Structures are given as structure tokens and as C-alpha cells.
Amino acid sequence: MPPATPDEGSHRRTGEGENRVPPALAVVVAVVTYTLLPDSLLIGPRLAIPAVEVLLLVSLVAVNPVRLVRQTRWSRYVSITLALVVIGANLGGLAMLVNTLGAPKEGAKGLLMGGVQVWLTNVIGYALLYWELDRGGPVSRHRERRDRMPPADWRFSQDENADTVREVAVGSSERSGWVPVFVDYLYVSITNSSAFSPTDTMPLTSRAKLLMASQATAALAVSLLIVARAVGSLGG
């Protein structure tokens, strides 16, 4: 096979940045999901945490309304804070949900609905954090040459496909300049919450491993403790 083009990432640096819509839409889904939680799973007033999340999202959209092409230290901190708020509120809801397992007044349907909402928000929150941390974030992945990009936290299959058959190698990171976008991290988050372990994307750094371990633990708690209890209640 021919060697990779020396300036394989030129189209990333001259083209448009990553689309703002997918991560913004994910935040909206997380906000709506939280507002639909039962009262027993809320931390404070129902709209308090969603209001904070919306405020943070609006400030980020103001910096990059359509495409992610600008990044400041402030905007990066805000983006990471938004992901942490989503995760923190959701883990608080999970703890309260586990606490309700022994309450006789909590019905099975309420537990099931709460479990689904917590699981979904868990997926979104960690996907946002993975997306923001890996290789310096979405703006860095778009603008920087690979020799100037921060070290990767995750290794995707495209990162090691350069020596495979042509139709696969053509889309590899080395040959095409491919870099992961939000949908890729959402997929990683979904599979980690479903299989409770990495699938085709491997964590490389300690923080990536710790984050994936905490996410899988939360998802496991939802699946085994809450859903199993609720299904058992439905069966009589």
C-alpha cells in the first residue's frame, strides 16, 4: 500500500469544524429526561439543575453557534463543567433511586421508568465528557496536526486500520485524517453502558479507564438492582 500522505489532516484544518447540533441535542435530551424524573429522584427543585445546564449550553452555543471552530480556556472549562453537571445530577438520582428500592410505596412502573431515564442520562453525560477530553476536545481534533495534538485517551478502530484491505484502510486515521466526533463517543458510551466493558474502542489513559469504570458501575447498578427489582414486582 502507498504511504500515508504527509499532510493527511489538511482537510480538517481548512474545512468546517464539527457540527454543534449533535452534542447540543444530546444535552437537550438530558435536560428533558431529568425534568421527567419522579419527585423522589430529584435533587432540589425540579427545574434547578436543568436551568443550570441550559445556561451553560447557551453560553457554549454563543461561542460556536453552528460549527466548533473556536475554543478558549473559558469555553473548554464550561463544556467540561456541563458534562460533569449532567453526570453528577444523574449519579445523585441513581443513589436516590437505589434508596427507594426498599420503599413499599414505590411501584414497579415508576422504578422501571426511573431506571430507563437514569441509564439514558448516564450515556449522554459520559459521552459528552469523553468527547470533550479526548485529544484536547473537538476544536483541537479539528485544527491541530497529529504531531501537535494532545495524547489520545481512546483508541478507535480507525486508528489502526491503515494496513488492512484498501476499502477499509482508505478511511483510517493515518490515511484519511479521520478523527472521532460526538457520535463516535456516544457509541462508546452506549456500548460501555450495555456491555459494561470496552468493545472496539479501548481506553488508553488512567482517567479514561476510571471514567469508563465509573460509568459501567452506574449502568450495572441500574440493570441489576433496579430493573431486576422492578421486573420482579411486575411479576407479582
Per-residue pLDDT 10s for the chain (236 aa) are 444 444 566 556 556 789 999 999 999 999 999 998 888 888 888 899 999 999 999 999 999 999 998 888 899 999 999 999 999 999 998 888 877 776 655 566 777 788 889 999 999 999 999 999 999 999 999 888 888 899 999 999 999 888 888 888 888 888 888 899 999 999 999 999 998 888 889 999 999 999 999 999 999 988 887 766 666 665 55
Give the predicted TM-score (pTM) of the model. Answer: 0.89
Q: By the 8 A CB rule, do 227 and 97 touch?
A: no
Kindly report the length of the chain. Answer: 236
